[in-house]
Amino acid sequence: MPRIIPWILILAAWTLPLQAETPEPPRDLAELSIHGWVEQVVLKPENIRLNAKMDTGATTSSLNALNKEIFERDGEEWIGFDIVNPRDENDKVRLERKIVRYVRIIRHDGNHQRRPVVNMGICMGEHYRESEISLIDRTELTYQALIGRNHMEGLVLVDSGHKNLQAPRCPD
């Protein structure tokens, strides 16, 4: 019997944090706005309006970024990149952001891809939030932007049967 007491104490100490954690109460779904699987979003502060795919299967959002150039500014790593002007696909808009980290993506073919991640403000419906966006060439894809779960969390529900349910209307 004395041999089992240390094991009981170890097991109790190991499970105590699990018992002490209280899960967050469920969110009132009525507080969430309903968005279609494709919505217009506005990139801030540049006020660039794009069609974006709402992707609940993606953790992080991503943006079509062309002509990427990494440079140093004030001792920090930054990136300059072009996005296609949604009003004129032959025109590009140059943006610059500080790189906050890199993400390693495993593609469907099993290959790995290292992408820079930046913070960007996005207006979606009446919701404005700054969140991390990975930069990748999405030229071959239908939508320049993909909005992932991290950006939508606690704000929206996605109705996969509809598009364009919420026009961007964040204050300037």
Q: What is the pLDDT of residues 93-150, one digit of tens each?
A: 999 999 999 998 877 788 888 999 999 999 999 999 999 999 998 888 889 999 999 9
Give the pLDDT of residue 18: 45
Give the pLDDT of residue 29: 77
Q: What whole-number distance in Å separates Cα of residue 165 and Cα of residue 32? A: 13
Instruction: Please report which helix (H) or strand (E) contains residue 93, including its range.
Output: strand 92-106
Overall size of the chain counted in residues: 172
Give the pLDDT of residue 140: 84
Please state the pTM of the whole predicted model: 0.77
Query: Could you tell me the residue ranges of all domains in the chain?
Result: 4-159
3-state SS assignment for residue 26: coil
Categorize the per-residue pLDDT at 44 as very low, low, confident or very high, splitting at 50, 70 and 90: very high
Specify the fold of 4-159. Answer: Cathepsin D, subunit A; domain 1 (2.40.70)
Alpha helices in the chain (DSSP H): 4-20, 149-152
pLDDT above 70: residue 41: yes
Q: What whole-number distance in Å separates Cα of residue 109 and Cα of residue 87? A: 33
End-to-end CA distance of the chain: 70
